[in-house]
């Protein structure tokens, strides 16, 4: 039987990676997330590990029941990373399932969440980047945004000494699952290319995961900083 949850399990032990893809299932929490450390910070691996440990500790002590609790998690992460003697900065995207069964997505930075529907893939998060602003205003199109030389210039992230901007997103009633990625995936593959892998090539669930990594690696050249988490519900 195919897994209904697939992600980069090796990243948690990979000291070369600035990404961590993981889950928190404790204290009635159900949380799935991608941490993508900003390469320009003092120590990307330390930033990813510090953020991951802080998430696990938060979920050990509290149950995330609503958006107020999500805000508490993000503020806790942001303040702890700001207080660290090193400059630790990460992008973060996650999906939580509240105790009532509802799923909610949230992000800071340019890590993304997509909603999987029966025959389509819909990005539901917005990047905290200047290029996203240009796209939203209609000044550039999707292809121009994808190819823009400043597409990775962040406006907000966790722990970057700036104010914290929290983004919350609902899923539709047609949701059949979700995909969480770092920019090692969607920075190389456009949304329509990712959707093509899901629905146009007759891949199994596990093959979808492998092909996203393979095709983005061809373009980026590094496998350890590419994060994919896929869950079917």
Report mean pLDDT in 10-residue bins for the chain, 233 residues. Answer: 76 86 93 95 96 96 96 96 95 97 97 97 96 96 94 92 89 97 94 97 94 83 75 95
Q: What is the pTM of this model?
A: 0.95
End-to-end CA distance of the chain: 15
Chain position carrying tokens 């945004």: 145
Q: CA-to-CA distance for 200 and 207, rounded, in angstroms?
A: 13
pLDDT for position 219: 63
**Rounded Cα distance, 158 and 174, in Å:** 31
Quick one: tokens of 209? 């995961």
Residues whose CB falls within 8 Å of the CB of residue 221, separated by 6 or more in sequence, listed in order? none
Domains of the chain: 5-221 (3.60.40.10)
Using only C-alpha atoms, the chain has a radius of gyration, in whole angstroms, of: 17
């Amino acid at each position: 039987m195919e897994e209904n949850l697939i992600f980069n399990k090796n990243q948690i032990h990979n000291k070369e990676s600035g990404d961590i893809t993981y889950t928190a299932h404790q204290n009635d929490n159900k949380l799935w997330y991608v941490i993508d450390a900003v390469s320009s910070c003092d120590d990307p691996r330390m930033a990813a590990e510090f953020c991951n440990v802080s998430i696990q500790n938060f979920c050990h002590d509290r149950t995330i029941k609503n958006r107020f609790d999500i805000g508490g998690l993000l503020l806790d992460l942001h303040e702890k990373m700001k207080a660290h003697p090193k400059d630790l900065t990460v992008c973060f995207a996650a999906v939580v399932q509240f105790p009532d069964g509802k799923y909610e997505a949230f992000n800071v930075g340019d890590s993304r969440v997509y909603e999987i529907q029966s025959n389509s893939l819909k990005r539901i998060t917005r990047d905290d980047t200047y290029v996203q602003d240009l796209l939203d205003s209609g000044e550039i199109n999707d292809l121009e945004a994808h190819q823009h030389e400043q597409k990775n210039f962040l406006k907000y992230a966790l722990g970057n000494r700036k104010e914290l901007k929290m983004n919350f997103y609902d899923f539709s009633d047609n949701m059949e699952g979700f995909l969480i990625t770092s920019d090692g995936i969607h920075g190389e593959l456009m949304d329509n290319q990712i959707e093509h892998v899901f629905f146009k090539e007759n891949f199994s669930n596990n093959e979808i995961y492998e092909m996203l990594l393979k095709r983005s690696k061809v373009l980026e050249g590094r496998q350890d900083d590419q994060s994919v988490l896929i869950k079917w519900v």
